[in-house]
């Protein structure tokens, strides 16, 4: 099975996180974009300040590669206005997919109405501009009950406020890949978490991000029903190799 169309090739590290200079980090991002174009992946997922670069490269190559970026990344604790402002800029720069980090800590603290408003307004902005909207719920920060609650919350807002033909443009996504866990626990997608998301987000689609490191693991996620897989090792996974990367 050729899984390239499921793969969102991902590079989201800052220069500091990568331990390189800013110039070197731009080179790394550029190489990821070039690889995604050459390999025919579904999408390149990059930081907002790299979207314009990707758009220029894709246009030059006349490629069908789409561009995704992250909003309010990685903690999701910015204000609604900050999320919207960042998303508008990403749209202007050429992003096709907007992956918002949901304020999961606010949700855990009982600020459910604020989270609902965030989901509604940001989803509305993305869909108005014909973009794909994904909501990162950060499963490693949640217990099973909270995963169920947040998946259902996003689904219910979409069903209540948007047309049925728009449902396919909204995803629930597992992870940022940057959440710090204790005792070596996984910080990305796991089979149990993905199952809960799929069961409770339907009819919305689910993206498994982080933790998928082999072709077989990718097939397992696809068999569960995920529509996208986020990984920094898309080429290795598509080629049947084992990724040594941490996302």
Could you confirm whether 56 is annotated as catalytic? Answer: no
Which is catalytic among the residues 99, 103, 155, 235? 99
Distance CA 208, CA 73 (A): 17
- Indicate which residue of 13, 155, 207, 235 is catalytic: 207
Going by their DSSP bridges, the two strands 205-209 and 7-11 should be labelled as unpaired
Q: Is 207 one of the catalytic residues?
A: yes
Domains, in order of start, for the chain: 4-238 (3.20.20.70)
For 99-133, how does the pLDDT look when each residue is reduced to its tens digit (9 = 90+)?
999 999 999 999 999 999 999 999 999 999 999 99
Residue-wise pLDDT for 140-178, tens only, equals 999 999 999 999 999 999 999 999 999 999 999 999 999
Q: Tell me whether residue 62 is one of the annotated catalytic residues.
A: no
181-232 per-position pLDDT tens digit: 987 788 899 999 999 999 999 999 999 999 898 999 999 999 999 999 999 9
């Amino acid at each position: 099975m050729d899984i390239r169309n499921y793969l969102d090739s991902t590079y989201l590290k800052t220069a500091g996180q990568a331990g390189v200079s800013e110039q070197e980090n731009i080179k790394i991002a550029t190489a990821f974009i070039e690889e995604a174009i050459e390999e025919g992946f579904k999408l390149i997922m990059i930081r907002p300040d790299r979207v314009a670069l990707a758009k220029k490269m894709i246009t030059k190559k006349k490629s069908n590669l789409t561009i995704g970026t992250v909003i309010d990344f990685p903690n999701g604790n910015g204000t609604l206005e900050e999320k919207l402002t960042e998303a508008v800029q990403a749209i202007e720069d050429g992003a096709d997919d907007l992956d918002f980090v949901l304020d999961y800590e606010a949700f855990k603290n009982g600020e459910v109405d604020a989270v609902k408003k965030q989901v509604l307004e940001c989803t509305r902005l993305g869909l108005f501009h014909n973009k794909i909207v994904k909501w990162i719920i950060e499963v490693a920060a949640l217990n099973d009950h909270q995963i169920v609650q947040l998946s259902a919350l996003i689904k219910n807002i979409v069903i209540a406020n948007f047309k049925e033909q728009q449902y396919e443009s909204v995803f629930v996504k597992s992870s940022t890949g940057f959440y710090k866990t204790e005792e070596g626990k996984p910080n990305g997608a796991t089979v149990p978490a993905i199952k809960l998301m799929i069961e409770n987000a339907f009819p919305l689609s689910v993206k498994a991000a982080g933790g998928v490191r082999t072709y077989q693991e990718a097939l397992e996620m696809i068999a569960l029903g995920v529509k996208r897989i986020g990984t920094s090792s898309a080429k290795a996974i598509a080629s049947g190799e084992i990724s040594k990367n941490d996302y």
